[in-house]
Amino acid sequence: MKIFPEMDAVGAEQSFYSFILGTKSVGYESLVESRKERRRKHALPGRVVPPGSPQPHRWYSVRSNPDLKRMNLSYEDAAKFLRDVLHWPDTKDFLPSLATLDALIVSMLERIPFHNLTLLTRERRPPTMDEIKQDMMSGIGGPCSVVNSFFATLLDVLGFGPNVYLLS
């Protein structure tokens, strides 16, 4: 069953917002205008974002990301995490390769829980880099932002960089 009759993309989007918000003039037009304003506000200096194009992103490699630098994850911390949390037997001869990357991903998925309980037990704010490091080093895990930022930093410290990016 189709909710909307055959129409172009703009007409379908207008019909969708009319259906959800109850009125075309208030819902759809205000959403389009707020989207245009957001693009103007966040555009890079000297760059015009044409309508219909995606928002510009400012991606940093993990090594140059100012937020992730505050995690202060050392090679010794990374080796301790591999031994104590992921239960890797020997980290002395660790070499970055596709096989070790695959094994790291599998170990992370098997041993680090994804959950949002820490968000419910702490005050309502994003976790600090110290909290992320502490939660991951203890094996507590956390939501995707915690696990992914730690894992990206871990990969860089273990030598998989310099082109490790956190795209979230």
165: pLDDT confidence band, cut at 50, 70 and 90? confident
For residue 119, what pLDDT is reported? 76
Q: Are 139 and 112 in contact (CB under 8 A)?
A: yes
Average pLDDT over residues 16-33: 56
Is the pTM higher than 0.75? The answer reads no
Closest CA to 147 of 110, 121, 101, 113: 113
Distance CA 44, CA 92 (A): 44
